Amino acid sequence: MENFNFHVATDIRFGKDRLSELPEVINTFGKNVLLVYGGGSIKQNGLYDKVRHALQAATVVELAGVEPNPRIETVTKGAALCREHHIDVILAVGGGSVIDCSKAIAGGAYVEGDLWENLVLKRQYNGPAIPIVTILTLAATGSEMNRGGVISNMQTQQKLGMGGKNLLPKVSFLDPTNTFTVNAYQTAAGSADIFSHLMENYFNATPGTDVQDGVAEGLMKTVIHHLPIALKEPENYDARANLMWASTLALNGLTGSGKTGTWSCHAMEHELSAFYDITHGIGLAILTPRWMAHILNETTVPKFARFAKEVWGIQEENPEQAARKGIQALYDFFLENGVPMTLPEVGIDTEKDFDQMAQQAIAHSTISKAAFVPLQKEDVIQIYQASQTPSTFI
C-alpha cells in the first residue's frame, strides 16, 4: 500500500425527509442560488416543488436541461449566470451529470475566456469555486462526494474528466426515496457505473491493499444483491438505500486511496460516449467483461480468481477457470438485469470510428503506461470489436 491523504469533508445528510434542513444549509453560503437540474424528471416526481418551497427565502436563478453527458456549452451558460447574478451557492438537483456540470460551473465562474480550453483541457483546477450543495436523484457516479467531473465537447468529439480540491460538494442530501421513480434501464445503468468504479480501483497492481479490496468486494456484493430487488420493487427503500450509499462509497476515495494506476474501461468508454452519446454506465457494462478477458494472463489471473471467489462465490481450484467463470458471472449479471451487452444494441453498428476512438483513448489517458495491464491502440480496437457480438468466456 502506498502513502495517501484521505480527507473528504462533504457533509452527508442521508435518509428520508431531510429537505427541512435545506434552508439552513443554503443560508450558510448566501442568498443567491443557482438551481441546476436536468430534463425535468424532478418536476414530474414532485421534488422540484419541494426544493422551491424550501428555497422561498432565497433568490433563485435556474439552469435547466443539463444533458446526460453534460456539454461545455451548458457549463459556459451556467458560469455566465453565476457572474451575472452574483451567485453564492450552486444547488445541483439530479444525478452525476447535473453534479458534474455544477462542478465545472463552480470553477468556471472564476475562469476567463473559453472554458473548454482554460478549464476542462487543464484537467486539474486549483482555483476558487462557488460552494456546491447537491440533492442526489440517481445512484451511479458518486459525484456527490468527490472532486471530479466529466464534461463533453460534441464539436471536438471529446469527453474528458476534470477536477479540483475546491469542487468537492459541501453538503449532499441523499434520500433514497428520490430514486423510487428512476426507471429500470437507468437503475441498471447506474448500478453498472457503481460496479465499474469499484472494479477500476480493485484491478490494480499495487500490492498489500487488502482493506481497500475487501471493502470493494463487499460493495460489489451489495450491488449484486440489491439491484434485482430494486428492479422488481422500485419503491423498496432498503434496496434503493444500499445502492445509493454504495454509489457514494465507491468513488469517494475509500477504495482507491493507497493505489496508483490508470483506469482502463473509463478511458475507452469516454470515447464511446463522445462519439455516440450513449449512457455511460451501459458503455462500461459492455466493455468491462471484454477488457477482463483481453488482459487475462499469468500475471493477472490470481486477482481475477480472487474476484470470482470473493464476489461471486465461485469455488474452482483451477485459477484460470475460476477467473473465466468470474468474468462470465459479471457478464450474465448485467444481461439478466436488462443491460444491453453489445455495441449494436446501443446504436454502434459500425467499426468506422474504432481507430480514431482508440487513438483518442490512448491520447487522453495513460492507459498505455500506467494501467493494471497497459493497453496500446490495437488492444483498444480489439476490445471494441469483441463488444460487437454476444460473448462467452468459459
- Consecutive sets of 10 residues in the chain, 394 residues long: mean pLDDT of each? 94 96 96 94 92 95 95 97 98 96 97 95 94 97 95 91 95 98 97 96 94 98 98 98 98 95 94 92 98 97 97 97 98 97 96 96 93 96 97 94
Q: Do domains 11-179 and 184-386 have the same CATH topology?
A: no
CA angle 68, 146, 25 (to 5 degrees): 90
What residues does each domain of the chain span? Answer: 11-179, 184-386
- Among 80, 70, 89, 92, which Cα is nearest to 274's? 70
- Among 205, 190, 129, which Cα is nearest to 162's? 129
Q: How far apart are alpha carbons 164 and 154 in whole angstroms?
A: 23
Answer whether 68's CB lies under 8 Å from 97's CB: yes
- Predicted local confidence at residue 40, as pLDDT: 80
Q: How far apart are alpha carbons 290 and 390 in whole angstroms?
A: 10
Give the CATH architecture of domain 11-179: 3-Layer(aba) Sandwich (3.40)
Answer whether 98's CB lies under 8 Å from 36's CB: yes
What backbone torsions phi and psi does residue 152 show, to the nearest 5 degrees?
Answer: -110, 145
Residue with cell 450558510: 28
- Among 338, 329, 340, which Cα is nearest to 393's? 329
Write down the CATH superfamily of domain 184-386.
Dehydroquinate synthase-like - alpha domain (1.20.1090.10)
- Predicted local confidence at residue 39, as pLDDT: 85
